A and B are shown apart, each in its own frame.
Chain A
């Protein structure tokens, strides 16, 4: 069978100019614990006294596939896993005489992404041809934006959760050098058995946004947090679906190490990373590898390395033969891309519907994840880390808010149900929020039963599980069917309590000697007898009477 080959995307990534990513400004001093690759995000006061410590420096190059129904320069559809070569126009196959026609939707997506990342939007940007021969690049060149990209000079703010309970939120910034529009390549399928290569051009010409993040990060966790935040932003904007495993978001990491205050070290480029988790691991492995080399007195090679998720290591990739010169040239078939500030700045004769107007896009920007988290914390009084959990899961904020609409229970009491019970069950079965068998009103009803004292909190959890397994049944129905209602019959509870007291003389003795905490043990035993249905207030009262 033909094995899927990532060579094409790697090739694309390989092409990026290497020089000039590192700003001259000195970096924040960071310290790496060599025993634990997790980095300290806080500036360590001690770091200044130990300047010989080697620290990691990480920059990222990210290719985000634009979420558009058609390709960047042709009308072919864009779809993942369509039959090979079923989404290929004459232009995509580079038939002679065909010309690129820019897709406005892709430009708007790039402008929108640029605005969300605080970039300057270039009123005029240009397209260039980047030449190299590869079987899945039919024209022999890629149309990209080398000289003047559509957006430049932005910032991505992301947060790290620190502390034992990860309750401390630390905000960080990474500088976005530029966002450029460019074409994706096709895919090569190498059939080793018949020693042939099959080409699928479905992906050829799909619009990409290449985002270049400056080396402002120092470890895998920071890079992962930055990429995760970017993912959320792109998904909120709808400009990219952001799925790394489907290749909609492809991340290459530029990693080097140096001693703070000294020039940056020789860097490597790490590729073949297809999840945020692997990104963190790959970077931390690479930092440790480079530190190891330097500590042994060796030198780091400037090379491209691939991450092997099985071994958790990075390994050198077979280098392209010789030095590539991409022979950049202006794309002569596309006039400069002009975006307009607002409708007033549109020149006469330009249809406002056909033009890309920054103001209009700005007005259409949705609530970004960071704003959403702040709003959740402020509005509902939940903990910041809970706001991260909510926003991280597509649809969970909406779910949470829908539950709140239908219950009088306090948000701070609801949040645990959503982030623990619901999310836990979803994750276990690999379901999305929208696939949850328990709807927000159903959960709200369950919480109401608990809130009004009809069921205990432990029973509520049992009911939740039963609801999960039998969708459609209400909490009230389940409670009734399984006779899970609170037992408040005083006589019945008296007899159960008596049995427990009689069979645990030592505990009773301890309580009578003043160790009131032991009462909780007896309460637990009573609940065990009643399967958690006993009214805890009543049980406590009866037990207190019987042990006094």
Chain B
């Protein structure tokens, strides 16, 4: 039951094969069993059971009613701690729900808990949060353990980030879907590494109200699910104008279930040559080729395209990201909410010590460099220049889509998930630059992108591929993604009971 797509569970709920409370308890039980993954910062057991109960007494009203879900801990949840995996907000309880959270609750979905992340979503590994790293569920499943001969507890792989907790929650079958946030790839990256579908919708299609921002001009709530169709249904529910977010746009169409027999014959798939980047693993490249071939064999037009400014994207992304981070983090001064330092000999001293104690090195580093970029004497040289290049990057995409390309097919990440010990050899900045290389251009341009799991690597870890589409063509993008999904035969983690495997390996 837990391994099903939520549509399957939804059917089971309606047919009375399982009750919302039973389902909720199963998931809570699963959360306890997989506690070692550290996927959740807060498990909302009590309120989840209450919501499931309410779902039970109510006539099930829609596909999400009674469905357990997880929310990245940078979305505000009313009366439930929202920490951003930071000491700064360790005990912060918001008085309101983020719009996207409220929409899911309104559909009767059952909130299981708040998912772990890199502090303030700054990271690509989910290794830099105040509550510890998240472990990739696949690194406890049989394929990985058998094929890598991993014996030790410390041999686990990272989930990717920053929405690693959300990805792990969905991958470990403790939630049917999860909200992540995607600023430079934070939803797609862990989605790819944990083998779940990860959608970053068009910028503005989903409300950011209640999402604690990283980069306002790039942040998009992300959707993680076990199938493309599940993601599409959630998108249909979450999309649209929100009066509380002035950057939202009206949904181009009501989005229900995707067509099951989508024909790719009339589709033109672009393969951007710049994404054949140094560091791209052989296996990921092989998957990329494999899926491109699938398209070609099905009659789609597959052609190489160029996005000439791609190489500058990651640098500009960092300048813009750090500048907005510097600005967005200014509110955390310990006065209205959050951590407040005991050292308070003057207001200025209190600010400084509060921020020093509350933020980790990564956050403080970005604040410092961001403020540097915004200084009067540097503004033109860094911020304005980066904005100009951002425009060029967006133009690259526009040109390609204008030339008849419907979707771009790229890898999501360079390779499968790194082992934690290897990943932490490099600092956060270097890792972010490496890991976000394929994902952040879509954020720079505000385009929809989705990562679809395609295969397990030789190490037994998931590999995902990314599709990027033109703005507001999210539905078409998902239709193509589903076409891939139907053909690649990615295995379900429930094919192996990985938690038992784990106990077998630990002595």
Interface residues of A (CB under 8 A from B): 90, 93-102, 129, 131, 133, 135, 138-141, 197, 199, 325, 327-329, 332-335
Contact = CB atoms under 8 A, between A and B. Distances in A.
Contacts of B351: 133
B247 A96 contact: no
B379 interface: yes
B326 interface: yes
B246 A93 contact: no
B76 A327 contact: no
Contact of A97 (B76, B246, B324, B336): B76
Contact of B330 (A93, A100, A140): A140
Nearest to B338: A96
B371 A96 contact: no
Nearest to B350: A135
Interface stretch (B136-144, B203-211, B305-313, B478-486): B203-211
Contact of B246 (A90, A95, A100): A100
Contacts of A333: 208, 216, 245-247
A139 B374 CA distance: 17
B208 A99 contact: yes
Interface stretch (B94-102, B228-236, B290-298, B406-414): B94-102
Leading 3 A-B pairs by shortest Cβ distance? A140-B330, A327-B374, A332-B216
Contacts of A129: 327
A95 B337 contact: yes
Nearest to B120: A96
B246 A335 contact: yes
A135 B347 contact: yes
Contacts of B212: 96-97
Nearest to B372: A327
B98 A97 contact: yes
Contacts, number: 103
B95 A131 contact: no
Contacts of B315: none
A101 B246 contact: yes
Interface string B67-96: 000000001100000101000010010111
Interface in B358-402: 371, 374-376, 379, 383
A93 B246 CA distance: 19
A161 to B, nearest CB: 45
A111 to B, nearest CB: 18
A197 B244 contact: no
Contacts of A96: 76, 82, 84, 89, 92, 94, 212-213, 331-332, 337
Contacts of B326: 131, 327
A209 B208 CA distance: 28
Nearest to B97: A97
Contacts of A100: 246
A415 to B, nearest CB: 52
B44 interface: no
B25 to A, nearest CB: 31
User: DSSP class of A's interface residues: helix, strand, loop or mixed?
Assistant: loop
Contacts of B76: 95-97
A133 B351 CA distance: 9
Given A129-B327, A329-B324, A97 B333 contact: no
A97 B94 CA distance: 10
A131 B327 CA distance: 7
Contact of B336 (A93, A102, A327): A93
A329 to B, nearest CB: 6
B336 A325 contact: no
A133 B371 contact: no
A76 B216 CA distance: 23
Nearest to B347: A135
Nearest to B344: A196
Nearest to A133: B351
Contacts of A327: 326-327, 371, 374-376, 379
B289 interface: no
A226 B216 CA distance: 42
B301 interface: no
Given A94-B336, A96-B331, A329 B374 contact: yes
Of the candidates B208, B333, B347, the one having the most CB atoms from chain A within 10 angstroms of its own CB is B333
A91 B379 CA distance: 28
Given A90-B95, A99-B245, A197-B347, A141 B327 contact: yes
Contact of A95 (B216, B244, B336, B374): B336
Contacts of B347: 135, 197
Interface in B333-351: 333, 335-337, 347-348, 351
B210 A97 contact: yes
Given A90-B95, A138-B335, A329-B374, A97 B211 contact: yes
B171 interface: no
10 contacts: A93-B336, A93-B337, A95-B76, A96-B82, A97-B208, A98-B209, A129-B327, A138-B336, A140-B327, A328-B374
A338 to B, nearest CB: 12
Of the candidates A93, A97, A129, A138, the one having the most CB atoms from chain B within 10 angstroms of its own CB is A97
Contact of A138 (B94, B210, B245, B331): B331
Nearest to B76: A97
Nearest to A98: B209
A230 B72 CA distance: 52
A135 B376 CA distance: 23
Contacts of A135: 335, 347
B396 to A, nearest CB: 22
B243 interface: yes
Of the candidates B244, B245, B337, the one having the most CB atoms from chain A within 10 angstroms of its own CB is B244
Given A95-B94, A96-B76, A140-B333, A334 B348 contact: no
Given A141-B330, A329-B383, A99 B209 contact: yes
B336 A335 contact: no
Contacts of A102: 246
Interface string B465-482: 000000000000000000
Contacts of A199: 335
A90 B94 CA distance: 10
